[in-house]
Structure 1
Amino acid sequence: MSTEQRVTAILPAYRMGAFIGRALRSIACQTHADWEIVVVDDHGPEDGTTRIVQEFATAHPKNRVELIRHAHNQGVSAARNSAMAAAKGRYLAFLDPDDIWAPWHLERTLKLIGDGSKADVATGPVVRFQDPPGRSFRTELFLPDWKVDHFPFSLAIHNFIQPSATVLKRSVIEEVGGFTTDPHLQHIEDYELWVRLVKAGKRFAFLRKPTSGYRKHPGAASADMDRMSRLHERLHERHSGFFEAGTAQMLRVAFDRMEQGVPGPWARFLKRVGSRWGAPRYPWLD
């Protein structure tokens, strides 16, 4: 079978047995049917991941489903890099095993970077969700116009690109070298990759409606604000030119707009507000 339109779903797994089955099912439901899956178990404890992936592979014999297990724990960047090294598709689509895709996720993102498009990376907003009994919620992390209109400068303000919302040409990530395995940048390794892609001249295209769901965990690494602040300081040091130029440009835009009497969104920009409550319901998350 030709791999011209094949997408390799990249799933790094560590203690994801409780969630990975739902993520796999969301891949199987894709309207773009030419997909394969590479799961890398980063030497996690046995939690059912192996069985779930093997049963899924048996149930979908027409699609390649490969499970790789690291001999020792190496971190999410190394797990994604191992999966990408085993990929055979023309496109790569990231999906963390606790996240899910809407059935049309691949179809819509591929329209942005497929044949005839000048874009290399497709992404979009996500729906952040939790679904424990009695504590479930849905919140759309939408993309306001200013983030898209002023990209890539807006990326210097904060990382609004979720891996599970992102599909890109395999050739571009091979060119920049994959995810960093620097231990000082883990948990923001995706942000660091987006910056390198921008610096390499790669073009991003954005959906305006969400096609993926991002599961929020109360104890996630991103909830440790002091730690995240230190990580961002290291990232800014590594790519100081990008962040200095982007921040300066965005401040000029913000203050120019406020002087023109358009204070609303730009005043909120200065406070880094980028999400809203009261988002519509998304049946594909239920």
Structure 2
Amino acid sequence: MTAKPCVSVVVIFYNPGRFFTEALDSVLAQTFMDWELLLVNDGSQDGSTEIARQYAQQHPNRITYLEHRGGVNRGMSATRNLGLAHARGKYTALLDADDFWLPNKLMEQVELLERFPEAVALFGRSTIWHSWAPNATQPDWPNLGELPADRLISPPEMLLHWLRDESYQPCTSEFIARTQTLREIGGWDETFKGLYEDNVLYTRLFTRFPVYAASNTWSLYRQHPDNCCHQAMAKGEWALGKANPAKRKILLWIQSYLDDNKLKSPDIEKALSDALLPFKNPTLFKVRQLPRRVANKLRHTLVR
């Protein structure tokens, strides 16, 4: 491919396992064809390196294989930044190596971004995907809760939603953004190697620029025991809505970022303070989980 593509698709991978080729094939199956695919290896040792090289050899004008110097593992943020550094498209779309894109994903997202030039990024409601497994016991469901969609969202509304409720999080594989904007904000913070690495990028975007939230579903977020979040849950490192070291790290990062850039508002300050409460005052946090009448009595005692 000699001309610059419209969309650069970045797929990072580290021992992605059996779902890798299904993810890559969902890119090849897109109805929108003006794309390049960047396969960025984060030190895989499970045979996926050979798979990625084969895809690049079979599609030399469309697919590029990348890896860190020496083939080392550097974490998700550094690996996404490597992909971003090589992206040639006007837009950059992300796909996790175990997820799946629906065929009209790029076509419809590019149309919306062209229609709303003030939006620097766009996302829809990814399907939390259990039914890929024949023996699934949980139903599929769309993420992002009750977020009003099909509209531009001004800063810092999306950050405020997330600080109040962690489930208001765009899935990585739903996300597409203007490449130049991603570079201008500095991409991802490489000190975040795994959990919450996406929140760094989202915070940098959601506090400064309008984004577009769609009601469409363009991706399937596969739920399985080997994905990043489930592994962290199994190790006791993370649970949605719970106090844990990884959550504390991203909240403190957000607090520092807002302070450094003078971006805070009263609503954000209140939401951030509430989110940090489990770490600063665990006893008061537990009181807030009690019935309101009991909690009010105890809270007055604790805060004197």
Question: Could you state the TM-score of these two structures normalised by the residue count of structure 2?
Answer: 0.71
- What is the CA distance between 1:66 and its match in structure 2? 2.4
Aligned to 1:32: 32
Aligned to 1:9: 9
Residue pair 1:109, 1:207 contacting (<8 A) in 2 also? no
The reply on whether 1:99 has 2:99 as its aligned counterpart is yes
Residue pair 1:16, 1:49 contacting (<8 A) in 2 also? yes
Residue pair 2:200, 2:250 contacting (<8 A) in 1 also? no
- What is the CA distance between 1:171 and its match in structure 2? 0.4
Residue type of the alignment partner of 1:98: D
Q: How many pairs align?
A: 248
Residue type of the alignment partner of 1:164: S
Residue pair 2:153, 2:213 contacting (<8 A) in 1 also? no
Q: 1:210 aligns with which of 193, 217, 222?
A: 217
- Matched position secondary structure for 2:18: coil
Aligned to 1:126: 126
- Matched position secondary structure for 1:40: strand
Seen in structure 2, the aligned counterparts of structure 1 residues 233 and 177 have a Cα distance that, compared at 3 Å, is closer
Residue type of the alignment partner of 1:106: L
Residue pair 1:121, 1:205 contacting (<8 A) in 2 also? yes
- Matched position secondary structure for 1:92: strand
For 1:233-272, what aligned pairs fall within 5 Å after superposition?
A: 233-240=251-258, 245-247=266-268
- Matched position secondary structure for 2:38: strand
Seen in structure 2, the aligned counterparts of structure 1 residues 246 and 235 have a Cα distance that, compared at 3 Å, is farther
Aligned to 2:191: 182
69-78 or 96-105, which moves further after superposition? 69-78
Aligned to 1:68: 67
Partner deviation per Cα, 1:82-122 (whole Å, 9 max, x = no partner): 11111221211011101111111111111122276221111
Seen in structure 2, the aligned counterparts of structure 1 residues 70 and 161 have a Cα distance that, compared at 3 Å, is farther
Seen in structure 2, the aligned counterparts of structure 1 residues 83 and 188 have a Cα distance that, compared at 3 Å, is same
Cα separation, 1, equivalents of 2:50 and 2:102: 24
Residue pair 1:153, 1:249 contacting (<8 A) in 2 also? no
Instruction: Give unpaired runs (5+ residues) of structure 1.
Output: 251-270, 272-286
- What is the CA distance between 1:209 and its match in structure 2? 1.6
Aligned Cα RMSD in Å? 2.9
Q: 1:221 aligns with which of 232, 240, 254?
A: 232
Residue pair 1:99, 1:213 contacting (<8 A) in 2 also? yes
Residue type of the alignment partner of 2:253: L
Partner deviation per Cα, 1:112-135 (whole Å, 9 max, x = no partner): 222762211111110011333412
Residue type of the alignment partner of 2:93: A
Instruction: Give unpaired runs (5+ residues) of structure 2.
Output: 163-167, 272-288, 290-304
Residue pair 1:40, 1:70 contacting (<8 A) in 2 also? no
- What is the CA distance between 1:80 and its match in structure 2? 0.5
Residue pair 2:153, 2:211 contacting (<8 A) in 1 also? no
Partner deviation per Cα, 1:219-274 (whole Å, 9 max, x = no partner): 23367232443234323432456566444698xxxxxxxxxxxxxxxxxxxx9xxx
Seen in structure 2, the aligned counterparts of structure 1 residues 20 and 111 have a Cα distance that, compared at 3 Å, is same
Residue pair 2:55, 2:63 contacting (<8 A) in 1 also? no
Which structure would you say has the larger Rg?
2
Seen in structure 2, the aligned counterparts of structure 1 residues 51 and 237 have a Cα distance that, compared at 3 Å, is same
Question: How high is the sequence identity, in percent, across the aligned residues?
Answer: 25
Aligned to 2:282: none
225-234 or 209-218, which moves further after superposition? 225-234
- Matched position secondary structure for 1:230: helix
Seen in structure 2, the aligned counterparts of structure 1 residues 89 and 24 have a Cα distance that, compared at 3 Å, is same
Residue pair 1:14, 1:44 contacting (<8 A) in 2 also? yes
